[in-house]
Amino acid sequence: MASTRDDAAAISADLAELRRAIHREPEIGLDLPRTQAKVLSALGGLPLEITCGQALSSVTAVLRGGRPGQTVLLRGDMDALPVTEHARLPYASQTEGTMHACGHDLHTAMLAGAAKLLAARQAELAGNVIFMFQPGEEGCGGAKKMIDEGVLDAAGPRPVAAFGLHVVSSTLPAGVFTSRAGTMMAAADTLEVTVRGRGGHAAQPHHAADPIPVACELVTALQTMVTRQFDIFDPVVLTVGLFRAGTADNVIPDEARFAATVRTFSPAARRRARDASLRLVRDITAAHGLSVHAEFVDGYPVTVNNADETAFAQQTVTDLFGTGGFVPAPSPMTGAEDFSYVLEQVPGAFVMLGACPPGSDPATAPFNHSAEAVFDDGVLADGAALYAELALRRLAAAAL
């Protein structure tokens, strides 16, 4: 039998066509009916058990192997971003204000390709594969919703391992994979603060309770908190990206509001960041005799790769693509991923794949989420082959 790489190369034109069709018609959030239809059509005729989501337009497909065994889950996300595409491509977005700027169109096509490759190997497959086509990664927590709707139980027994792939339009050369054991990506939470004072004339501040200097003090105190209360080797990034107060220079407003993104790299640091920031905000405001409403809004958890599954994924990459095909990630990424919800329940690995187009320098090419970001179709076959081999080999290992 030909290798999965050869078989993947043979369908690479189909994968590019599917990817470009999805790219042309990007959809945002949890409801992606046109993308879902394209996935269902790509999976048509394959020996899969397919269910569609209720609360979101997900597609869960189960392939049952010809031999008994365990279950492995492969995940690809499908949603786009509210960005207007600037890159001039023949398959550019036809929807103003919506763009596949994070490369999820490639993930969808690669996962559909893996389903095709594995279906052709159904007889030798020792167990089941769950294909998780997921909407709403960009901020909507689609992975959590799919778990709530039973994706982890789709084949019966829970998966013994789960793998996700993500392309990057810069940083890595095209076709090179990277990952790391332990923390792969940050948790991203939001601290929302409203300092409540009492408005008045700006020339008579002692007759008012001015929330602006107190809110400003909170912003700097939070930075001091980060550097004095947290281990630099288990870091915290806290950035106030929104600050609003006031209407005129001679009016003291009633309140001042700000919000910060809080990135942490361990569940313990995440809990401490929540407790410490809320305490600091509350106590400094009280010291000035004002009141505050503060909330720590949970975003995505820390994405933690299982050490054994990461080593297995690295081995699979180097077997398929040579030792140059894998570069260990020296540090976690400060972005966040809702595949973290899957990895909280199933040991697995999240693996990045360079998709920088030919002629661009990975060091300077526009990064994911940029209106200029371009992802190269040339990596689709490699991504599909890796997904397929991860499932094949992991199930074979579990069957021993």
Q: Total number of residues binding Zn ion (CB under 5 A)?
A: 1
Question: 252 vs 373, which CB is nearer to Zn ion?
Answer: 373
Closer residue to Zn ion, CB minimum distance, 111 or 320: 111
Structure token digits, residue 40: 């269902």
Q: How many CA atoms lie within 13 A of 327 on its CB side?
A: 12
Placement of tokens 């790769």 in the chain: 305
State the nearest-atom distance from the C-beta of 147 to Zn ion, in Å: 18
Q: CB 351 → Zn ion: shortest distance, Å? A: 13
- Among the residue ranges 2-10, 33-41, 101-109, 291-299, the one whose residues contact Zn ion (CB under 5 A): 101-109
Q: Which is nearer to Zn ion, 300 or 326 (CB)?
A: 300
CB 347 → Zn ion: shortest distance, Å?
A: 22
Q: Which is nearer to Zn ion, 7 or 337 (CB)?
A: 337
How many Å apart are CA 254 and CA 62, to the nearest integer? Answer: 56
- Determine the 3-state secondary structure of 233 from DSSP: coil
Kindly report the backbone phi and psi dihedral angles of residue 32, in degrees, each rounded to the nearest multiple of 5, phi listed first.
-125, 65
Interface region with Zn ion, contact rule CB under 5 A, candidates 102-110, 119-127, 276-284, 375-383: 102-110
Between the alpha carbon of residue 36 and those of residues 144, 282, 296, 372, the distances in Å are: 18, 46, 34, 26
Site string for Zn ion, 50-89 (x = CB under 5 A): ----------------------------------------
User: By CB under 5 A, which span of 97-105, 223-231, 235-243, 261-269 interacts with Zn ion?
Assistant: 97-105
Residue 300 CB, nearest distance to Zn ion (Å)? 11
DSSP H or E stretch at residue 327: strand 326-328
Closer to Zn ion by CB, 137 or 149: give it. 137
Spatial distance between the Cα atoms of 399 and 208, rounded to a whole number of angstroms:
73
Q: What torsion, rounded to 10 degrees, do the Cα atoms 390, 117, 144, 376 define? A: 90
Min. distance of Cβ 222 from Zn ion in angstroms? 26
Tell me whether residue 143 or residue 209 sits nearer to Zn ion (CB atom). 143
Task: In whole angstroms, give the CA distance from residue 78 to residue 102.
Answer: 10
Q: Centre a 10 Å sphere on the Cβ of residue 371 and count the other Cβ atoms it contains.
A: 13
102 is a site residue for Zn ion (CB under 5 A):
yes
197 or 335, CB closer to Zn ion?
A: 335
Nearer to Zn ion, 61 or 333 (CB): 333
- Residue 377 Cα to chain centre, angstroms: 20
Three-class DSSP category at 175 = coil
Given the rule CB under 5 A, which of 10-18, 100-108, 215-223, 277-285 is the region that contacts Zn ion?
A: 100-108
Specify the length of the chain in residues: 400
- Rounded Cα distance between 384 and 322, Å, is 17
Nearest distance from residue 349's CB to Zn ion, in Å?
A: 16
d(CA 180, CA 184) in angstroms, rounded, equals: 6
In the complex, minimum distance from the CB of residue 166 to Zn ion, in angstroms, rounded to a whole number: 6
Q: Is 344 helix (H, G, I), strand (E, B) or coil?
A: helix
Shortest-Cβ-distance residue relative to Zn ion = 102
Kindly state whether residue 161 participates in binding Zn ion, applying the rule CB under 5 A: no
Give the nearer residue to Zn ion in terms of CB position, either 20 or 369.
Answer: 369
End-to-end CA separation in angstroms for the chain: 22
Q: Which stretch binds Zn ion (CB under 5 A): 95-103, 139-147, 197-205, 222-230?
A: 95-103
Contact between 208 and 252 under an 8 Å Cβ cutoff? The reply is yes
Residue with Cβ nearer Zn ion (265 or 375):
375
CB of 167 to Zn ion, least distance (A): 8
Stretch that binds Zn ion, among 31-39, 96-104, 115-123, 231-239 (CB under 5 A): 96-104
Nearest CA-CA partner of 109 in 355, 311, 365: 355
Residues that bind Zn ion (CB under 5 A): 102
